[in-house]
Amino acid sequence: MKKKLIGFMVAAALCLGGAAHAEEGGKLAHQYWPERGVFGKYDMASVQRGFQVYREVCSNCHSLKLMSYRDLKGLGYTDAQVKAVASAYTVQDGPNDEGEMFDRPARPSDRFHSPFANDKAARAANGGALPPDMSLLANARPGGPDYIYGILTGYGTAPADVKMTPGLYWNDTFPGHQIAMPQPLSDGQVTYSNGDAASTQQAARDVAQFLDWASNPHMEARKAMGIKVILFMLFFVGIMRAAKRKVWADVH
Ligand code: HEC
């Protein structure tokens, strides 16, 4: 009886898991991401290339509202480089002494420039669909960088028996498989600073790592602190054991 019950529970769990997966969209191919895992570290060269992909392509539609230009220092950029990146954008400031708003070049302390004034403008420009803010996207979607990579490389032709909604594109990874984002990356679209034209896969991998970093910019510091805490705890347990032995040494 008990065995049957356990069997039933396992089967139910498998079915539920399967159903949940089907709803989530296509199966994700799992890749190795150097930043994931207990001792993981970012591949900073890849994260920097990914920032270039974000800046040249994704930032036309997706905002990164929680990021300031000075956060790029965590990516290895110098103060001068951060200033140069920021000053390419214009922000509205004010009011000035005459009570008027005015435009000025962005400073390192400003938040990243958003492509649209508000969500309604973003929807109007994208056939009614909202390009989500990317500040926490890698954390918010199951699979994180695998999901982002899967979306970017998952475009294709719809199976013959599927009726596509006009204005949507077939995507293997996106839940429901019909996405409003036109394929954003293609081979050779982004040329990296070393002169290499990036393949779709390369650019997708780099931007997925950049977005993982953008969602967790302090991850390395946090992990380093965690390791220190664990070492201290081990040391402390040793001391407490020695103290206990000393205190109880004469009690027989
Ligand atoms: C032309 C505008 C446009 C560009 C450029 C663009 N996107 Fe999108 N993106 C959208 C829209 C619109 C959606 C919402 C799609 C939907 O809901 O069907 C979207 C959705 C997504 C999603 C799925 C989000 C979710 O909710 O699960 C990901 C991931 C994504 N974009 C990544 C990127 C990346 C990375 C780039 C740059 C390489 C990029 N996009 C460039 C418009 C754009």
- The tens digit of pLDDT for each residue in 11-33 reads 555 544 444 444 456 789 999 99
Residue appearing with tokens 């950029």:
77
**CA–CA distance, 223 with 219 (Å, rounded to integer):** 6
**CA–CA distance, 188 with 198 (Å, rounded to integer):** 5
pLDDT of residue 27: 82
Establish if 15 belongs to a structural domain. Answer: no
How far away, in angstroms, is 76 Cα from ligand 1 center?
27
Ligand 1 close to Cβ of residue 122 (< 6 A): no
CA-129 nearest atom, ligand 1: 12
Burial of 122-136, coded b for 16+ CB within 10 Å and e otherwise, reads beeebeeeebebbbb
pLDDT of residue 13: 53
Establish if 97 belongs to a structural domain. Answer: no
In a mutational test of the pocket of ligand 1, which residue from 55, 60, 62 has the highest number of ligand atoms less than 8 Å from its CB?
Answer: 62
How far away, in angstroms, is 146 Cα from ligand 1 center?
15
Q: Whose CA is nearest to atom 3 of ligand 1?
A: 61
Ligand 1 close to Cβ of residue 61 (< 6 A): yes
Establish if 9 belongs to a structural domain. Answer: no
Establish if 225 belongs to a structural domain. Answer: yes
Establish if 75 belongs to a structural domain. Answer: no
CA-127 nearest atom, ligand 1: 12
Q: Is 167 helix (H, G, I), strand (E, B) or coil?
A: coil
pLDDT of residue 17: 47
Establish if 90 belongs to a structural domain. Answer: no
Quickly state the pLDDT bin for 42 (edges 50, 70, 90). very high
- Cα dihedral: 214, 220, 226, 232 (round 10): -160
| CA 133 to centroid of chain Cα atoms | 10
Question: Domain containing 45: what range?
Answer: 33-67+111-242
Establish if 78 belongs to a structural domain. Answer: no
Residue 64's nearest CA partner among 146, 131, 149 is 131
Contact criterion met (CB below 8 Å) for 100 and 140 = no
Average pLDDT over residues 69-94: 94
**CA–CA distance, 170 with 153 (Å, rounded to integer):** 11
CATH code (residue 174): 1.10.760.10
Q: Whose CA is nearest to atom 24 of ligand 1?
A: 132
In a mutational test of the pocket of ligand 1, which residue from 181, 185, 210 has the highest number of ligand atoms less than 8 Å from its CB?
Answer: 181
**CA–CA distance, 166 with 39 (Å, rounded to integer):** 46
Establish if 249 belongs to a structural domain. Answer: no
Number of domains in the chain: 1
Give the pLDDT confidence of 198-234 residue by residue, as tens digits: 999 999 999 999 999 999 989 989 999 999 999 999 9
**CA–CA distance, 193 with 190 (Å, rounded to integer):** 10
**CA–CA distance, 124 with 130 (Å, rounded to integer):** 9
